[in-house]
Structure 1
Amino acid sequence: MKMTFLNKLDGLLWQDCDDIYLKHQQICLALQDDYQVNVNLLLLATWLDKQSHLLSLQQWQTLQQDTFKWESRVLLPYRKLRRLSKSCLAADEYQQMLDVELMLERKSQKLILHSLNQLAWQGESSNLASYLSLFNLSDKDYAALTR
């Protein structure tokens, strides 16, 4: 079965992911900075586990690759520029850069959802375990994300 039901859940899905992010922001940012984990995909894996919808490791690899193609051209260079600019900008200018980055994150979420809707449910283990394994990480080390 294709995942088209997620189109109907788009707002709810990402709002739930935002809530997960706020609860686990430090872990998410550490994984992003230390291992280049995509926070949107990390949050999606956590959310899908709570919904009992599993993807295979190969599907996670596809999502990671598809997302990285776009983000490496747009979002990641912008994020680097924002971080480099922080000390040179007034607070309101820096906030404007953060707002643009959030807009780019939302675009990433739409691209992820589009890619996800092309897949069929096939997973055999937890999404968090499958996704983190792409980075040679164990979900047991990040069990807090499942709470």
Structure 2
Amino acid sequence: MTFVNHFDISLWKICDGYYHQHQALCLELQDNHQLNVNLLLLSLWLDTQDYLLSSQDWTKLQSEIHQWEARILLPYRKLRKLSKNSLASDEYQQMLDVELMLERKSQGLILHKLKQLSHFGKTSNLGTYLSLFNLNKADYPMLTEQV
């Protein structure tokens, strides 16, 4: 049994705390660079666990999660954003709730895929993940503050 087999859905509660600390930046990275916020938060959490994934593992994880999200989550998110001005606030909140449910499904898929990977990386998960989008960890020091 590998270390990652001990990880479970509860890690997302910790990641949720990271998200609330850095929500604006997370959304900026998502909207402007197409980063997956769940993977970004996971990279921060894995770094606190000294569980380093390789660049190839991050590429595989990003690709597989993106395939699922491109079919389900991303079109729904686009529809929600387009609908914002034409819906009552309670209807819009219902759409947000569905999107959050889809995010939880994505988190489950990430955990499933994570359990299939080894931990033989040599550098920070955050730096490795950001590099997939030609971003530099040094440009985002605030992400590692209070983690």
TM-score with structure 2 length normalisation?
Answer: 0.96
Q: Which residue of 2 aligns with 1:58?
A: 56
Q: Which residue of 2 aligns with 1:6?
A: 7
Task: Give 1:52 shift.
Answer: 1.0
One-letter amino acid of the structure 1 residue matched with residue 7 of structure 2: L
Aligned to 1:4, the other structure's residue is in SS state: helix
Q: 2-side partners of 1:71 and 1:35: how far apart?
A: 15
One-letter amino acid of the structure 1 residue matched with residue 23 of structure 2: Q
One-letter amino acid of the structure 1 residue matched with residue 120 of structure 2: Q
Structure with greater helix share of residues: 1
Q: 2-side partners of 1:143 and 1:17: how far apart?
A: 17
Task: Give 1:50 shift.
Answer: 1.0
Deviations 1:33-52 (A, max 9, x none): 00000000000000111111
One-letter amino acid of the structure 2 residue matched with residue 106 of structure 1: R
Q: 2-side partners of 1:14 and 1:40: how far apart?
A: 9
Q: Superposed, which structure 2 residues align to 1:12-23 within 5 Å?
A: 13-23=11-21
Answering whether residue 74 of structure 2 is matched by residue 76 of structure 1, we say yes
Deviations 1:90-142 (A, max 9, x none): 00000000000000000000000000000111110000000000000001111
Identity rate, percent: 61
Q: 2-side partners of 1:70 and 1:134: how far apart?
A: 18
Unmatched runs of 5 consecutive residues or more in structure 2: none
Q: 2:130 aligns with which of 126, 129, 132?
A: 132
Q: 1-side partners of 2:135 and 2:113: how far apart?
A: 24
One-letter amino acid of the structure 2 residue matched with residue 61 of structure 1: T
Q: 1-side partners of 2:120 and 2:60: how far apart?
A: 13
Q: Which residue of 2 aligns with 1:118?
A: 116
One-letter amino acid of the structure 2 residue matched with residue 132 of structure 1: L
Q: 2:85 aligns with which of 69, 81, 87?
A: 87
Answering whether residue 108 of structure 2 is matched by residue 106 of structure 1, we say no
* RMSD after superposition: 0.8
Task: Give 1:143 shift.
Answer: 1.1
Q: Superposed, which structure 2 residues align to 1:25-40 within 5 Å?
A: 25-40=23-38
